[in-house]
Structure formats: C-alpha cells, structure tokens
Amino acid sequence: MSTADLSDYDQGSVPDAGKMTFGIVVSDWNHDITSSLLNGALNTLKKHGAKNKNIIVRHVPGSFELTIGAQLLAESYDVDAIICLGCVIQGETPHFTYICQGVTYGITKLNLDYGIPFIFGVLTTLNHDQALERSGGKHGNKGDEAAVTAIKMVALDREM
C-alpha cells in the first residue's frame, strides 16, 4: 500500500496568516529530521503570510519535553497557536511507546486546558528512513502539514 504525499493540500483553501501569531516548540532529538520539520513549518507559515516577528521558536531536548515546552511558551507569550515538532523512532525497547503515549497525551491535554490550538507535528516512525520520507521526502513534510493545520485552527477559532 502506498501513502500519498501527506503535505499535498489545497493551498487555495488556506486562510491568510498575516495577522496571526505562532509558537513553535521543536525537539532536538533526531535533529536532522526535526530541523527539516522546523524549516517546513517556518516556510509554510511565511508562504501563507505569517511574519517573522510573529513566530516564536523554542527548542527542547526530546519529544517527551514538548508538552512542558509548549506549556511554558503558552504562558510566556501571546500566541494564537503552538506547533509541536518532534520525531520518535522505534528502538529495541518499549521506550518508544512510552514517549509517544506521553507526548500524545500531553499535547491533547494542552488542547483541552488552554484556549488555543496545540498542533501535533510529531513523527512516530519505525525507522530513520520513514522519518526522512516524511520530513521533506517522498511523503511530504509533516512540518508543512502542521503549519497549515495551525493556520486553519486559528481561523476556525476566530470564526467561532
């Protein structure tokens, strides 16, 4: 079964982000992958009108720290949405499962506890090749996808 380019979205339907502010929290674990996710997210936000001065980027050591990093950012800056970027690659032990569960639960809880969207831009892959394919490879870039989701969620929030 082949997977489509996950970043292949209808650009015409993405709202203008010119008056939106964003936080990005990015994990440094698997840095080669997460730096591509970050570049993808930044380029996509700017492509849709977001200004450099309205994008705040902060780094955390690993994906497990994305939750607290995003919470600190939400409490320190007035942003409309926060994008969480990370990459967890399965190893030989169940550690992968615990990190994935922890960050998924953490980001879900932030969405429910705060009045802004927190976007789940975390790759959870079986190996490094799968991560490469989803961070600017044949399956697109999850950073682009996360940025578009953030813009759409801010627009939805304003509409309501």
Contacts of 151 (CB under 8 A, 6+ apart): 14, 15, 17, 20, 45, 48, 50, 81
Residue 49 or 102 having the CB closest to ligand DLZ: 102
Q: Which of 22, 42, 50, 65 binds ligand DLZ (CB under 6 A)?
A: 65
CA-to-CA distance for 44 and 41, rounded, in angstroms? 5
Per-residue x/- marks for ligand DLZ, 94-113, CB under 6 A?
-x---x--------------
CA-to-CA distance for 26 and 119, rounded, in angstroms? 12
Residue 27 or 141 having the CB closest to ligand DLZ: 27
Is 139 part of the annotated catalytic residue set? no
Q: What's the min distance (Å) between Cβ of 14 and ligand DLZ?
A: 28
- Burial (CB count within 10 angstroms: exposed 0-12, middle 13-18, buried 19+), residue 78: exposed
Q: What's the min distance (Å) between Cβ of 120 and ligand DLZ?
A: 13
Q: What's the min distance (Å) between Cβ of 123 and ligand DLZ?
A: 9
Residue 44 or 124 having the CB closest to ligand DLZ: 124
CA-to-CA distance for 39 and 136, rounded, in angstroms? 10
Asked if residue 62 binds ligand DLZ (CB under 6 A), the reply is: yes
Asked if residue 35 binds ligand DLZ (CB under 6 A), the reply is: no
User: In 3-state terms, what secondary structure has residue 138?
Assistant: coil
E-strand stretches of the chain: 22-27, 55-60, 81-89, 118-125, 135-137, 140-141
Q: Which of 30, 67, 130, 141 binds ligand DLZ (CB under 6 A)?
A: 30
Give me the residues that bind ligand DLZ (CB under 6 A), please. 27, 29-30, 61-65, 86-89, 91, 95, 99
Which residues are annotated as catalytic? 95
